[in-house]
Structure formats: structure tokens, C-alpha cells
Structure 1
């Protein structure tokens, strides 16, 4: 297939690109810059110029391909809510280009959106409309496309990691440095699902090749890593004290990430593994954190 890949030069997208090419697909990669275009050409992809601020440029990319994998997202968390709305507009525009065809579009969300209202690990069969993560806008946009008969498949990401980045944990490291301690809240029992980037890239391609319209897939290799263990790994690697803090101290120790500090982000992957014959094999989160140079780790 000729696949239009947004976010093709990013952390997740660049690994998906490699996996797509290894499976014999052609890739039309989105970029906004000349340096991005050169990177795509070196990787063996075609170049499509466009930006998230101009949804029509992504719509034309979708129209020119046999399938779409959309993993681009503006990670400026100072404007997180607005950026989720921007993502919804982009998905709607690409949906317009795909309507009336059988072309699939894979969109990217977070595992927390599948958390049951009564609590427990997130599941693929649940869309929690009351979840506090503004990224719910992405799934609402996907549901609107599905209602129009468009083949939408949702990939929900956990904390995606290797030895250079680790999802929300990467900016958490920066906040820990600022605050002078790697903090966890109370007993640190809230957890984060996680997966190595290589496993995540394989899942995207499996969902493209074997996925079902309307399905949601969890790219969570580990159902939940306790946040206390994460804080302890960060403390060791960054040479910071590790501290339990009360809820009244969350804003100081977590900064802009305060809204995530109390969220339990566990996620089951049993249904995904069965349906896509997906078996994660990459290193676990704590292994990668122990090998990460936390003195130079930068915010994703």
C-alpha cells in the first residue's frame, strides 16, 4: 500500500516509517521543513509538505494514498487543549478526503481514554467520555468519521520509550530537576502503562494490515508500572532525592504535569494481542530508564 504517514519524522512516526518500508509498503511522509524532507528522502519515503495548522494540506495527502496513519501531534503542552482541538480538525479534514472509499485511517490516542468510569485498567472496548484527558477530542473526532462509514482504527499509546525518550516521563524528569526531587504522590501506587518504541511501531503496521474498522488497539506492553518505581529510577539516574508528596504539593513538584499526577494509567492489551497476533518483545520501561542518560534527557 501507499501509506500517508503524518508525524513521519517524529519519535514514533520515524519508527513506523521504517517498519512500513520493511513490510513492503510505500510511504508518503508529511513534513513542514526542508530538513524533514531530506530525512524522509534518506529513509526511502516520498515527501508531502504540509502542517497541522493547514488541515487541507493533510487532506490532500490522504487523498493521494491508499491508507493513512496519523500520529502527528503538536506537543506544546502550554496549549494542550487547543492542540487536541487542532488534532480533531485535522482528522475531520482527512475524513472528508476518505469518505466514500474503503481506505483506512489509523488515528493516535492515549490508553487512558479507555479507563472504565468505575476504575481499573483501560480496555479496548471502552471509550470513557468523562475522562479528564483533553485528548478525548481525538477519539470523538474518530467516532464522527466512523459514523460516516469511514474505516477508522484507533491506536492508543502508553508511555512509549527507548533509551532516549519515555513519553510523559521525559518531561517529568525535567520537572524533577527543577523541583530538586523525583516525587511521587502519597504511596506512589498509581501506574503507567508502557511499551518500547519498536513494539509500538510493529503494532501500527499490524493494525494497518490486519485491523478492523472501528477497532481500538492498545500498544501497552506493560499493563502498569508503579509510579513510585518510576520516580526511584529517575532519582537514581538523575542523582536526585526521591520524595513522597501530598496532594497539596503536586503543583510544585509536577509543574504543568500536575493534572497527570493522580491519574492511574494502567491498560490491558489482551484483546489487542489476540486480534493482531502482537507479542511485545522490547525492553521494559525500567530497563530503558536505567540505561538512559538522565543528565542530558530532553523534553519530548
Structure 2
């Protein structure tokens, strides 16, 4: 299958591209820079230069493919409106390009904002609609294209997709701990984050491409919820730092923009996804990754 991947050189995208190639798919990838393009070309990926501000390029990539996996996002946490608008625009462009074709369209989403005092399941719809909502309401927008004969599937990733080389949330929390001289956690540290190893997430995406029915919501979740106190303790061990509670009132100042996320209870299950796809996570846990040097340059 010819698969067009946005975010192909990113953290999750790189792993997904590797899985697609290993499964025998032909891959084209969107690349913003010459360095990203070279990285993809070295893998045998056909490169299409562009970014989320290039709707014509995105449309051309989607039209030339037999399936699209949309993983790119600006991740501008200081200006969410910009990220949300770009995300919605990309999803609209891809959906319009694939309308009437029945071709697969998988897009990255998450579980943030879906929690209701219990773990989020695949049956829980996103409450976010419209361009002003988180991610520009992109999950619901993409699923609406099912009615226009697009095989849309939502990929809900855990708040931490971890592993060696990750530069996401856990890497940011680790950097803050080193800067502050303490591995902090919000309040009593009982709020939790779902987690999945990047290799498990990539395998789920490819199985979702090959097996998930249109309209599916898939959960890339291996651990339902790791307490933030345990995350901080593992960061402390990794960098030989003391571990301490951060008063909720001080969380924004201590952690900066990521504090609001770290204080949330982001838990989810993946039982339905595992049963549907025959997918079983086998990678390291988040704490195992921290304890074996994935974020501190230690042993593998």
C-alpha cells in the first residue's frame, strides 16, 4: 500500500515509518527541512517537502497515496490557537482529498480532556467540536468524513509515548528537574499518566491501518496510569536528584507550561484496541525506560 505520512521524521512518525516499511508498504513522507528529508530518503522514503502551512502540498500527497497517516502537529503550547488552526486545516484538506475514495485516513489524537473520573475507553467520544476547541476538534472532524466515504480512524496516543531519543513530555520534565535541582510532582502525586513505548505505539498504528474499521477510535496505551509521584521518583533516580511534592499553587511557576498537563489525571484503557487488532504491548514500561537510561544516556 502507498502510504503518505505527515510528521514522518518526528518521534512517533519515525517509528511508524519503520514499521510500515518492515510490513512491505511504500511510504512517502512530508518533510519540513533538508535534514528531515535526508533522514527519510536514507530509509527509502519518497520525500515531499512541505509543512502544515502548505495545504496544496498536503493535498497532493494525500491524492497520490492509497492511505494517509497524519501525525504532524505544531505543538506550539505557548500559542495553542496556532496549533489548533493548523491541525484542523490539515485534517480538512486530507479529508477533502480522500472524499469518495474509501481510502484509509488515520490521524493522531489523544486522551487529554476526555477523562470523566474513570479511565477513558475507546467508546468514549471526544467532546471537542469546532475550530476553537483543542486540536481544532480534529478527531471529530476526521470521523465526520466517514459519511463522505473516507475510512477515518482516530489514533489516541498516551500522554507519554516514551523511549530512547524521546524529546517529549518526559524529556521536558527531566530537563526541569535538572534545572531546579529536584524531581518534583504535583500535590500528593496520585494523579496518573497513561503511557506506551514508542515501538508498541508504532505497531498499533500499522495494525490499525491494516485492520481497523472506519470510524474506529484506537488507544495506544500500554499502562493505564503511572502515578506522577512514581514518574518523579524515577527521574530522581536517573539524575541523582531529590524528589519532592510541589504545592499545587506553585505548579505553574515550577513546571512552566507543562505544569497544567502534569497535574492532570490522564488515564485510559486499551482493551478494545488490543482485542480488535490482536495487538499486545511488549515494550519497556515508562519506569523501566527511566531506570535503564532512556532519558539520562545510561544503559539501554
Q: Is TM more than 0.5 here?
A: yes
Residues 112, 267 of structure 1: 8 Å contact kept: no
Residues 221, 269 of structure 2: 8 Å contact kept: yes
1:219 aligned residue: 220
| 2:125 equivalent to 1:127 | yes
How far does residue 187 in structure 1 lie from its aligned partner after superposition? 1.6
How far does residue 114 in structure 1 lie from its aligned partner after superposition? 3.9
2:58 aligned residue: 58
| 2:10 equivalent to 1:31 | no
* Normalised TM-score (structure 1): 0.92
How far does residue 45 in structure 1 lie from its aligned partner after superposition? 1.2
1:206 aligned residue: 207
How far does residue 138 in structure 1 lie from its aligned partner after superposition? 2.4
1:2 aligned residue: 2
What SS is found at the alignment partner of 2:14? Answer: helix
2:108 aligned residue: 108
Deviations 1:217-260 (CA, angstroms, capped at 9, x unpaired): 00001111111000001112122221112211111221111221
CA distance in 1, matches of 2:5, 2:44: 13
CA distance in 2, matches of 1:280, 1:114: 22
Q: Does the C-alpha gap of structure 1 residues 180 and 80 become closer, same or farther in structure 2, counting only changes over 3 Å?
A: farther
What SS is found at the alignment partner of 2:78? Answer: helix
Residues 88, 135 of structure 2: 8 Å contact kept: no
* Normalised TM-score (structure 2): 0.92
How is 1:132-281 mapped onto 2 (pairs within 5 angstroms)? 134-135=134-135, 137-158=137-158, 159-165=160-166, 167-281=168-282
Corresponding pairs, count: 295
Greater displacement, 70-79 / 217-226? 70-79
CA distance in 1, matches of 2:279, 2:71: 19
Q: Does the C-alpha gap of structure 1 residues 29 and 277 become closer, same or farther in structure 2, counting only changes over 3 Å?
A: same
Greater displacement, 25-34 / 100-109? 25-34
Residues 74, 83 of structure 1: 8 Å contact kept: yes
CA distance in 1, matches of 2:121, 2:30: 31
How is 1:14-93 mapped onto 2 (pairs within 5 angstroms)? 14-93=14-93
Deviations 1:197-223 (CA, angstroms, capped at 9, x unpaired): 111110000000001101000000111
Q: Does the C-alpha gap of structure 1 residues 273 and 295 become closer, same or farther in structure 2, counting only changes over 3 Å?
A: closer
* Aligned-pair Cα RMSD in Å: 2.1
CA distance in 2, matches of 1:205, 1:295: 30
Greater displacement, 231-240 / 76-85? 76-85
CA distance in 2, matches of 1:216, 1:160: 17
Deviations 1:25-67 (CA, angstroms, capped at 9, x unpaired): 1001111222222221210111112211112211110000000
Deviations 1:120-146 (CA, angstroms, capped at 9, x unpaired): 111111124169x82362223323423
Residues 164, 295 of structure 2: 8 Å contact kept: no
CA distance in 2, matches of 1:22, 1:294: 27
What SS is found at the alignment partner of 2:203? Answer: helix
Deviations 1:70-108 (CA, angstroms, capped at 9, x unpaired): 111112322233202211110101111001111110000
CA distance in 1, matches of 2:212, 2:109: 16
Q: Does the C-alpha gap of structure 1 residues 253 and 155 become closer, same or farther in structure 2, counting only changes over 3 Å?
A: same
How far does residue 147 in structure 1 lie from its aligned partner after superposition? 4.3
Greater displacement, 219-228 / 287-296? 287-296
How far does residue 291 in structure 1 lie from its aligned partner after superposition? 1.9
Residues 179, 252 of structure 1: 8 Å contact kept: no
CA distance in 2, matches of 1:130, 1:75: 18
CA distance in 1, matches of 2:2, 2:177: 43
Residues 192, 226 of structure 1: 8 Å contact kept: yes
